Amino acid sequence: MSFSSLFLGEIAALSAAFLWAAAAVLFEKIGRRIRPLEMNLLKGSLAIVLLLLTLWLTRSFQWNIPGWAVAVLLVSGAVGIGLGDTAYFAALQNIGIRRNLLLGTLAPPLTAVMGLMFLSERMAWTAWLGVFVTTAGVAWVITEQTSGKGEAQRPAGHLMRGVIFGVISAVCQAGGAILSRLVFMQTEVSALESALLRLIAGVGILYIWIIFQKQPILQWTKEPGRTRLWVLIVTSVVFGTYLAIWLQQIAFKLAPTAIAQTLVATSPIFSLPIAWFMGEKLTLRAVLGVLVAVVGVALLF
């Protein structure tokens, strides 16, 4: 048995983490032209088309899901994707790639705490230590005053706004995960079906949100450079949403859950060379803080 086949789940988890970090670069570029709400709407709509095509090609349609489970998954999608991903994109615009991905490491500890509160999932003392270490690592990096290109070019007031959006995103992601976990514990719904239902709810709430805002959408399609922007959007969705989620599910299927979850949470490590390549000055504190946060996630699982 070859190395790649023996550790296929672990390789898939690391690949998903890398794709999320790389897609964050594209989403940040797109966010300079498109509002977070509209960007999330486009991402979700394209992902729904890709999931439907995948379900059709793989003949994976089951649809024997209990009504209560459908309702829970829809709420999960509205919270985790509709609200959570919109907050994620807003944070990305305000604090940049590295800090935003780092704030995302708060989601696993929050999920663990919510699991204890609502699903009676007990945690060992090492898990509680992981919660503390992850939070400390995030706080250590977020409070650093940076200089140079990249994030430092943003006004100081954007830091607090971005952190708030990032925390909201992490809370929503954790809440959506707990609701999904509740359904997986009691039904045989597939990962693709659950992802499709969650996306439909997330996109649905975004459409309602836009209607109430009464703001025009797709204005950027009338501006120069719209073809290049469409290419960036499609590329980011295919690799950063559709393919990354598929790789994550492969990891959860083939690798031990604790290992897969820990490796998936290494996106901030991949964000370091990406941020450096884009001109951001990386301090020793930033690098150590990211490593501390990822170690905290490892302790959690």
Closest CA to 88 of 31, 33, 48: 31
In a domain, 162, yes or no: yes
pLDDT at 152: 46
Q: What are the tokens at 84?
A: 């959570």
Give the chain's domain count. 1
Which structural domain range is residue 42 located in? 36-215+271-300
Q: What are the tokens at 5?
A: 């086949």
- 187-202: per-residue pLDDT in tens? 888 778 888 898 899 9
- 59-75: per-residue pLDDT in tens? 777 777 888 999 999 99
The answer on pLDDT for 2 being more than 60 is no
The answer on pLDDT for 57 being more than 50 is yes
Residue 222: other Cβ atoms inside 10 A: 7
In a domain, 157, yes or no: yes
In a domain, 227, yes or no: no
In a domain, 245, yes or no: no
Residue 78: other Cβ atoms inside 10 A: 23
In a domain, 135, yes or no: yes
